Structure 1
Amino acid sequence: MFNRSLRKPRLSSLVLAAAGAAMAGSAAAADLTISAGLPKVHFWVGQYMEPFANAVEAATPIRFKRFYAGELVAVGRELDALKGGTIDVAAPLLAPYHEGRFALSDVTQLPTYNTSAVSVTKAFQKLLDSPVKIKGDKSFYQYEIADKGIRVWPLGATAPYVISTTGKVLQSPAELKGLPLRAGSAMHTIVLQQLGATPVTMPASQAYEALSRGTVNGLVLSVADWKSYSFQDLIKYTVTGVSIGHWESYLATTEDQWNKLPADQRQTWDRIARETALKNAEGIDRQDVEVREAAEKKGSKFVPITSLSADMQTFIAKASANTWIQWIEQTEKKGQPGKATAKLWASLVQAEGGKVPDGVAEYLAK
């Protein structure tokens, strides 16, 4: 009797411990709604959102309910949807489409030389991690991101944005004057104005029809992006070797949702997000080459800037430098630390092997 009475409490304790462990495991699991405003074919969805979600699900109890192509949240509405609880994760949160709300994130769209998707992705991750103060006691991340109540990671940056036309050859500054070209952002508008062209702002999804009808004679876009919109059938001339910037955007969740996850899951998520960004960038750089080769077989010409006249090279370099200056001064007038951000960005780009236009370093040093 004595021995049996001892065994009962021990058995009950084991059962209770097992039940407690099961409850703890259940509490550690999370079902999260993840949304993309872009279609699966886009490299930020098929090559980032999907592998990120798959890897996190394989390594943690987290499970994602996935939505694509704006079926739940449209492009430019991601921040409101996150903060309103419609979604738990935006993949991507397209910062340039949130007008005025991510004023400093456009810094990656400033013109550069010798940059790639991989080098810019590395530089952008370093920008987010940098402790350098850009205003008061705030770093870039604290100023641009944390105050919005969200937690973000970079996607793979686009390949270099380039100027392309449906056939118009650009050998002199005069051939750019007044030329209607599609611009996808405020920064592209500045660049095209500096070049003397006429910017026509529209989403890339509307550009095929505009190019077909001759409403615009070309566009500013990365070659890798052509595949998403079938532009390789229309574009016949592209100037390479100078980047009209790179688009970057974010994987994002709210700080509240992030803090609900156990520490080990947060660590795994962070690691996978960073690794996926670099793999995404590597894939984008490969896609840039593949699309270019396919377009060349259809008669499209890619002309290195170094093969253009000295006057044209100087003209484009000056316009690129003036774009940096105009963006900085416009941003500063709005009370944002544009110059400090641009100075930090320039140093990070150069550390990854890129170059900034002549005259930019001198301006930033003033």
Structure 2
Amino acid sequence: MFNRFSRRARISTAVLVALGASVASLAHAKDLTISAGIPKAHFWVGQHMDPFATAMEAATPLKFKRFYAGELVAVGRELDALKGGTIDVAAPLLAPYHEGRFALSDVTQLPTIGTNSVLVTKAFQKLMDSTVKIKGDKSFYQYEIADKGIHAWPLGSTAAYALSTTGKVLQSPADLKGLPLRAGSALHTIVLQQLGATPVTMPASQAYEALSRGTVNGLVLSVGDWKSYSFQDLLKYTVTGVALGHWESYLATTDAVWKDLSADERKSWDRIARETALKNAEGIDKQDVEVRQASEKAGGQFVSIDALSPEMRAHIAKASANTWIQWIEQTEKKGHPGKATAKLWASLVQGEGGKVPEGVAEYLK
């Protein structure tokens, strides 16, 4: 009798465990709202948001309700939407459009030499993983991300930002003086000012009309990104060989969403986010080449900085170095650890095989 009772007890326990596991699975088999403020054609959506969500759905019980092109949340409103519960995941959270709220994330937009998307993505992941203290007892991630009540991972970085015009040839510093050029962030404003141009700040999504009407005569943007905004027919002249920075941003969710995930779901999320970013970066580098080749076939002109006059080369080099200095000093004045962040970033970029403009290393010492 005891054995029969014991056997029944074991069976009942097994059933309860199975039911518990089923309930736990159902608890996590819920929809998470994931949103992009930019169109599906953009490489941060079609090549990052969608692959990430699809891979997560295959690896976990999680499901994602997907929204594109700002139909739910506009560019620059992602952080508020996350914290307000409108969305569960921002893909991407475009940090530079959140004025004053991500003071250090612009560091990837500092000019570099010999860098591409894969290199910068690897360096940025290491920056986010770094335990180096940049202010008090806080690392970059703790200072820039964790304090905002969110969890974040890097996207695939853009390819190198280039200086492009609708046709104006840039042969000397005088050709840049007062030239209205679109800037997408505060740091782009700095580099254009240092070059002597007149920055006109606007999102890339608004630049097509401005370029068409002649409100601006060019912009700072990666060549591969032209495809997302149909700039191929408008931009005719581009200076290559110097990276006017790389734009990085985040895949982000809230602490509340993260805590609600199971340990296995978190592990899968972290792994898939990292893998997706690197695949995204590889695709971005490939797209950069493809868009340039298509532009060249259509008559677009790409001129290496090495082919410019010594005066122009020196002008761009000085502007690049001064951009680092001005960004660091402005960031420090606002109470943020600009120099410590820039020093760490420079070391990580160099560790991946990139270079910083002449004079930057000396200043950072």
For 1:231, the aligned partner's letter is F
1:91 corresponds to:
91
Residues in 2 aligned to 1:336 and 1:249: alpha-carbon distance in whole angstroms: 19
Structure 1 equivalent of residue 183 of structure 2: 183
Task: Give the structure 2 partner of residue 243 of structure 1.
Answer: 243
In structure 2, the partner of 1:155 is 155
Distance in 1 between the 2:303 and 2:187 partners?
23
Distance 1:254-1:309 versus aligned 2 partners, 3 A rule: same
1:99 partner amino acid:
E
Q: CA deviation at 1:225?
A: 0.7
| Cα distance between partner residues in 2 of 1:345 and 1:5 | 66
Q: Give the letter aligned to residue 32 of structure 1.
A: L
CA shift at 1:16, angstroms? 3.2
CA distance in 2, matches of 1:212, 1:184: 17
Q: Which residue does the alignment assign to 1:299? A: 299
- 1:138 is matched by which residue type in structure 2? K
Does structure 1 residue 170 correspond to structure 2 residue 199? no
d(CA) in 2 for partners of 1:214 and 1:353? Answer: 39
C-alpha deviation, 1:262, in angstroms: 1.1
* Mean Cα deviation higher: 120-129 or 3-12: 3-12
CA–CA separation in structure 2 for the residues paired with 1:221 and 1:3: 75
**Distance in 2 separating the partners of 1:273 and 1:221:** 25
**Which residue does the alignment assign to 2:209?**
209
Q: Where does residue 337 of structure 1 map in the other structure?
A: 337
Distance 2:191 2:3 in 1: 86
Deviation at 1:13, TM superposition (A): 4.1
In structure 2, C-alpha distance between the alignment counterparts of 1:13 and 1:259, rounded to whole Å: 28
1:97, 1:150 → 2: CA distance? Answer: 17
Distance 1:186 1:79 in 2: 18
1:16 equivalent to 2:27? Answer no
1: CA distance, partners of 2:161 / 2:296: 18
Matches within 5 A, 1:98-117: 98-117=98-117
In the alignment of these two chains, the number of paired residues is 365
Superposed CA offset, 1:59-97 (max 9, x none): 111111111111111111111111111111110000001
Classify 1:39/1:13 alpha carbon distance in 2 versus 1 (closer, same or farther; 3 Å).
same
CA 1:282 to 1:3, structure 2 compared with 1: closer, same or farther past 3 Å? Answer: closer
Q: Separation in 2 of the partners of 1:55 and 1:245?
A: 30
Partner of 2:62: 62
**Percent identity of equivalent pairs:** 81
Q: Which residue of 2 aligns with 1:139?
A: 139
In 2, Cα distance between equivalents of 1:3 and 1:266: 42
Who is 1:312 aligned against? Answer: 312
1:171: Cα distance to partner? 1.1
Match of 1:231, SS state, is: coil
Q: Secondary structure at the match of 1:43?
A: coil
The 3-state SS of whatever aligns with 1:291 is helix
Partners of 2:11 and 2:73 lie apart in 1 by 51
In the alignment, the residues of structure 2 paired with residue 336 and residue 20 of structure 1 have an alpha-carbon distance, to the nearest angstrom, of 48
Q: Distance in 1 between matches of 2:242 and 2:2?
A: 87
Question: Matched residues in 1 for 2:135 and 2:67: separation?
Answer: 37
**Equivalent position of 1:194 in the other structure:** 194
- Opposite residue 24 of structure 1, the aligned amino acid is A
**Cα offset, 1:210, TM superposition:** 1.5
Q: Does 1:287 align with 2:271?
A: no
Shift, 1:36, TM fit: 0.8
CA distance in structure 2 between the partners assigned to 1:160 and 1:154 by the alignment: 16
Q: Secondary structure at the match of 2:232?
A: helix
Q: 1:62/1:308 Cα in 2 relative to 1: closer, same or farther (>3 Å)?
A: same
Q: Say if 1:344 and 1:15 are closer, same or farther in 2 by CA, change over 3 A.
A: closer
Distance 1:26 1:175, change over 3 A: same
- In the alignment, which residue of structure 2 is the partner of 1:220? 220
Unaligned runs of 5+ in 1: none
- Secondary structure at the residue paired with 1:80? helix
Q: Name the counterpart of 1:53.
A: 53
Give the C-alpha shift of residue 167 in structure 1. 1.0
Report the alpha carbon displacement of residue 32 of structure 1 after superposing the two structures with TM.
Answer: 1.0
How far is the alpha carbon of 1:155 from its aligned partner? 0.2
Normalised TM-score (structure 2): 0.97
